[in-house]
Amino acid sequence: MHDVSQWLHLISLGSLGLSCLCAVVIAEHVSHHPQRMGVMNGVWPIAALFGSVFVLYGYFRHGVQDAREVPDEARETAPFPIAVAKGTLHCGSGCMVGDVVAESLLLLFPSVAVVFGWHWLFQDRMFATWVLDFLFAFAAGIFFQYFAIVPMRKLSPQEGVRAALKADSLSLAAWQVGMYAVMGFAQRDLFARVYGGPLPASRIEFWLAMQVAMIGGFITAYPVNAWLIHAGIKEAM
């Protein structure tokens, strides 16, 4: 398994490095060409941290037309699948921020996991971690949705919170389900075979798994977002 662990380490370095580069390229471009929907200035580079070159391509193919400087008559109406993908990335970027903050918090303060069920509710620390992940991801996702839906519908703060909860609660839950499925496989099967057990967030291979897990979240959240947009519950982007 030594060769496999070396390859995983190199793949992790390459994948995460490429994703960071894509995020920097998008962030630099969007700083000069800000999006009409302000929250998307953060969504695109954050999404590139897991979507890598696919999000980079998506931004320059379908995102740049949403810059404030582009006149209305020059903008193309995004096909429904693209609008759904944008909405899913918007949801996922909030989830990613929440998950990264939660995992970093537990890395710095491992005893926090006890508060969320480790030892007294769950024997496996991973499940307690997932509880905290979900809470942070949900809060960050609703925050992102709030700043998308309020300007579009011109809502009051109270109305905005209610609308954000209605628009994104199901989507956020679906995203986390896909993410947990991938992380569960990585920690309990792949890493257990290669390293003899689950890996902590201090290992770069853990973040490669998290990157792939976010793609899993995109896959499970995409059909939910399609339904929400089609039903008029969530705004197309």
pLDDT at 109: 93
pLDDT of residue 2: 65
Say if CB 109 and CB 147 are below 8 A apart: no
Return the SS3 of 35. Answer: strand
Give the predicted TM-score (pTM) of the model: 0.91
| Rounded (5°) CA angle 219-220-225 | 95
State the virtual CA torsion across 119, 122, 124, 127 in degrees, nearest 10: -130
Contact 161, 211 (CB under 8 A): no
Ranges of residues in the chain whose predicted pLDDT is under 50:
none
Contact 104, 145 (CB under 8 A): no
Distance between alpha carbon 96 and the CA centroid of its chain, in Å?
Answer: 3
Q: Are 57 and 90 in contact (CB under 8 A)?
A: no
- Which pLDDT score is estimated for 1? 58
pLDDT at 214: 96
pLDDT in the model for residue 77: 81
Query: In this predicted structure, what is the pLDDT of residue 176?
Result: 93
